[in-house]
Amino acid sequence: MARTSAPSNPIACTGTDSIYVELHLRRLGAVYELHIVLIEYHHSTGRYDRDELAREIAHDGDEAIDVAADLECLALRRPEERKALGWTDRDFGEAVGTILPRLLPAQALAAAE
């Protein structure tokens, strides 16, 4: 499995305790970057392997929510292949919709009201 850059805090996860996929979101100027990472924990060694599955750019909040929903479908494929479907803490689209207001600058929030 390929190593990814330093991990950020995920905003949503799906899988089991040993194989799961994290959704990450960050604002890059006027766009949003979303990416999903497969995490596999090896009980015998205590090692975590990280494999980036996809990285997408969204140009606005609505597109970010749609991209998150698409990434969730992709995220479910990998654990399913390993028979590791388990829990989902929340839908990826819902997670993005919840966090987007916190990523907007104060001026954009005032203009939206």
Q: Domain for residue 3, yes or no?
A: no
Averaged pLDDT score across all residues of the chain? 81
Q: Domain for residue 51, yes or no?
A: yes
Q: Domain for residue 74, yes or no?
A: yes
Q: Domain for residue 6, yes or no?
A: no
Report CA Rg, the chain.
15
Q: Domain for residue 78, yes or no?
A: yes
Q: Domain for residue 81, yes or no?
A: yes
| Number of alpha carbons in the 13 Å side-chain half-sphere of residue 113 | 6
Grouping H, G, I as helix, E, B as strand and the rest as coil, residue 8 is coil
Domain count within the chain: 1
In the prediction, which pLDDT does 15 show? 83
Residue owning tokens 């597109």: 63
Q: Which domain holds residue 91?
A: 12-112
Q: Which of 105, 95, 92, 107 is nearest to 53 (CA)?
A: 92
Q: What is the mean pLDDT of each run of 10 residues along the chain (113 residues)?
A: 56 87 91 94 93 95 94 79 65 90 62 52
Q: Domain for residue 7, yes or no?
A: no
